[in-house]
Structure 1
Amino acid sequence: MIEKKLAILASVYCSKADIKQLKRIIPYFKNQKALIFQFVQALWPELQDPLDLKFLFDVDTFNGDEDHAANSLNDILVQCLEQDSSLIPLVETNPDVVLERYDQLIKYVTRDSQIDFNIPPSHSSWIKNRIIHCNNYDKNLILYYQPLWSQLELTSEFNEWVNGVLLPLNNIPANNRIHIEELIKMDSAKRITFLLGCMPSSTSDLGFFSNIFLPMLRYYKETDLDYYTSHYVNPQTYKLENNNEITILSKIYEISGSVEVGAKVLGILYENGQNYFKSHPNKFTDSELRVLLTKIGTEDSSLHLKLLDLIRDIDDLEHFNSFKTLFDIQEGTEAQQYDLFTIYSRSFRIDNISELEKDFLFNKLSLRQKLEIIIESLIEKNNLSEVKKLLDEDPTPENNELLIKNFWKFFYRSENIHDEAFKIAETILSMIPSNFNGSAKRHQLEYLLKNSRDLSQHSINLHPHGFKPNYLLNYKDEPMAIISNLLELNPKLYKMTDKTQDILSNLNSCFDKKTTEVAKSKLLALHIDHALVNRDFMFAYQLCKEWFAICKDAGNDEGIGKQWLTIFQVGKFIDPEWPDNEAPTEILILQMEILSELLQYSPIDQIEIIATQWSALEVELSIRDLSTDTSISNDSNSLQFIQNSLNEVSHTMAAFLGRNR
């Protein structure tokens, strides 16, 4: 309760600007600095000398002196009331009354603002609010607190506010001024309208723009600049009848730094340049104009189609009466116009093809040439939505061929499937009709992208510098080399025949080839090789059976038989981990089965080698005692199965040899 009584006394001292008494009790509010600052802001006399408040910003003010340390809250309350007995009825009354007075006081000084009195305000924000408060009392009190803030170290944001709001508002004639708070609360349209309403009769008064309009425009850049440039930066407002307008436009462009504003300024120079030159015999030699052109012209993206970059390089300018003299470009050759149009297309934007049809400057170029240049430029800038818009207007086969051309450009440029070039190539392809069948079929290119994505999921080494999508094109005639590379670098892949068959099929599709039976047999042979490397005999055996099935379907295709040596290796395979480096009996019989069937598909001059190996296995099997062989199950069913298998293999071998004698 004592704290609330002291707070009530503090509010009285603030309203009387009683610095001495206020300084006595401030130390007792060390942990509630915000409360004291709020009292001062709301209650301190508006016309009191601002420097009287400097004590608030001194560190020692809230720390207190020796008397403060020796006195309790009650002591200081008694001392204050002894100093001024008229204050006794204010605080020495019913506690409920004191609480009611305190609550009303807080409500008044906060005025609906939410303030945490445990958090002291920053000096900058407090000074700013105090300035606004006093200005609400008198709109001419704009720089009244300058003597105080100039002695304090305030934030850069506060200084920007002073330069962008207070100083410009103070420079406005008194009869046009409004309150700071009113200015702050205005939207862009109202604020711009108000400022322009304060402009002297001359629409290009440099003093007004330099001291009032431009500083405030810079401060409210995020909200007001776009409104002003959209509604006022145009040939109708800036007629260029005096040099000040060039200076003003230069400053506006400097504030914005944007391509769009630069284009607007250049458009004004183009349309009204003749007005400017009438009153400026020096023309381009005028420093202000050269500075402006140099600022805008240094960025390629800020060039305007109607103003050429060569302006900056012309020395003899005596004969130019307007920028429109640049239409001399119409007399240039087709090649010259093509090169220039290509340069300007980097910044030129069109909303529809009809805009190109209206172009009269590049008169040697056809609409098709211009459109192709624009489309290529948009693709280079990754502005593919604009490309699609133009293509929808002009769905001709020539455009599809142009897209194919650019697809290849970005496909070759891509380093991997994640970079921007690859993604652009994907988007370009999506714009080509699915039934397009020109210089390249769309489905071929789709498979090319699919292969790039699929292969990137595995380790692959098609080039010393790693995998780039376009390296696939080097294997157009030998896609099997890619599969071989995958199997070498991805050990687990040897069991995924479905996966490699899909990859091979997709590779052939992108090269417009069919996957033949010979190719399938080669693929199986590769998997068999890697199965043997991984000592996976049973998987190799299964693949051999698939290989024989392909051979049977292919008939007399000699290409298939070329893989006979790989199958032969299965018949000779020895796992170093087998006991005594001998194949288990069951494996031995499977090898004999493989060799006997291989005889039907191997070259004639290799039959003897295969038969010899089969005989060697037969001899090896004949010396084994199947009843005691630990590598097989000894139950009668297993032995009978092995015997039947052996009889079948022997019968197959005998039948084949009988046919070939």
Structure 2
Amino acid sequence: MDDKLYLLCTIFAARADITNSSLLYDQANGNFTQECFDALCILWPELMDPNGLSFVFQQGPSDDQVQLSDPNDLMMNLLEVDNKLIPIIELEHDIVHERSEKVKDFVSKRILQLEQDSLITFDNILSNWLRRRILVCDEFNPNNVLFNEPLWETHSKDDIKFAQWISGIIKPLSYLNLRSGSKTLKIKDFENFKPVDIINLILGNINDDEYNLSIDASIIIQELIPYLKYSKAYDIFLDIVFNPSVFRFDTAVNYYNFRQLYSLLSNEIPIEFKEKLEELSLKIIYDNSANMLNVTSSSELEQLLTQFSPGTKVKSTSLTANNLKWFAHYMNLCFQGYSLSDINAICQSSEQEQLAHFASMVKGKICNSQSQQTIDVISNLISESKIKEKQIFTNLTIDKQISIFVEILLELGEFDLLQNFVTLNNSKLEENVLEKYFWNFFNNATNGLKSRPEIKKAEKTLQLMDVQNSTVYKHLHTLLKVADTLSRYSINLGKGIPFKPCNIFEFKYNPSKLISILLELNRDLYKDVANSMNLIDQLVEAMQISREHLDRESEYNKILVIHIDHALVNMDFTFAFQKSKELLRRDSVSTYWATVFQVCKFINPNWIDSEVPTEYLILQLELLGDLLSVCPADGLDIVVSQWSGAELELSTRNLIDDKYSIENMGSGNEFSQAINLLNDVSNSFTNFLSAVNNN
């Protein structure tokens, strides 16, 4: 290219002259020289909008240096656009040439500086140019690695190798710099780092003993995996990161980081490295499973091991992932407190040692949980000994294991086995003996939950009793059921006196008293009258209370009164009103008039000015009218007086702009409930006055 045209090109580039630069580029007819191309890269201002250089990608430069077909015409076109450049053209040839060479030398040196120590090149000329441009901008402003993203978004689609450089170097570095704050890295420095250094940069020196950072999934997905894909540094990464000294599982964070890295990498790592990843990971799990169980559960360990290929070997051992999975399975079921290496040690031990381990495990398991499930677990363990890869007690025959199992069950008085024995041998046990044990277990129980040991024993005893005579002991089944139900609530018989199942019989002649105690400590139950009556019915059946001594209708009235009282305690006027209406519709309720009267004069201190909302005042008037029909004579004056006061208060209310209306108190739900109740209210005033006149 002519020196004058080259100087014009450098001037246009230096002042980011998009119009003239693109004109020169377009009219070069594909013969835009590499020197001009480099000048655009180096001299174009670093902070100018990168979209200004988009014209470069409209056509590619040529490698040859063929003279332009008519440089004079091209120069004239450029000067027509900007005549201030004419003095440059009029300079003597030697001066123009000298200046041109100086600029070329400057640009060339900058290119060499950018490429120094770099092993990254692309086959595509535009890719190399854009990489240099990215490095130029990054040298000036390393805080914005993605500055030239508009340029590569389109171009990277045409060059896979360049796109890999963007995704494996540029983008991970941008995320890393964003996390690092002021400690930003330049692209050139990042490129020249060794893989081990970059891995430590991304993960934060994960192999340090004091490392306690939680690795976010975004770091792995956005930084680590793209870099590993680009650098092919999987071997290095696996060797320095996936080893038992890094992942000791001594903290929850350490275990979390392992799970994060393994789960995300296992789906992305090339197949040729997948086996190594699994082998190293299994070695980590095997060596540090004891620590792992301090931060997670054996069931999670079992679930984790299912993610590995069954035949993958544990590095430096003959064990496979499938072996470890079964070890973890048994650890979860009956070897709590053992590690994977502990289980493997049992497998390798002598017959006498295995016998001691088996007996200890069985006895501990049964003592810890006397249930059919426990028996099933141990039975399955024995049965699975037929399969080699599932064997734990390799030197004990199945018959020997069964013999030990049965002896321990009998020694501990396990009732499941006893029940099976009775059924299979058609034996009959003395009912009075079974009843004695039932009451011993029940009375010694400190909690009635069916999961508690003493209750479970009582239930198993009852099952044996049912074999003798199933119809006689129906009430005891109900007793266990109601004990279980009551024990799910908070109940105290006094300060520091917890409720025990045997206390149920203290309420044989007043079961509603137990309901009252129940509601005192379980505030959410006051709305569930049906639940209370269900408990009453169960108590009556469980304690075999005669209906002659306990009328259900009268008991229901008592329950309603208890629930009304607790509704007021919980400031629930609406519920108290509803149940008061229900109570007054029933027979023989005059005894409870005082409870209803409390509803009629109830005031919630949280109401505005401690005044009864107008809607509730009307409901109280309604209730007073109903109360008059059941109120004893000595209570009439009190009821009438309360009515008068409520009626007077209502007459003073401004019903058009009522500050005491629930609607104006901001409680939409409460207002809706009140309106629904008001819709059912009769003409209280008329009813009440008529009642007064009649009395």
State the TM-score, normalized to the length of structure 1.
Answer: 0.43
TM-score (norm 2): 0.41
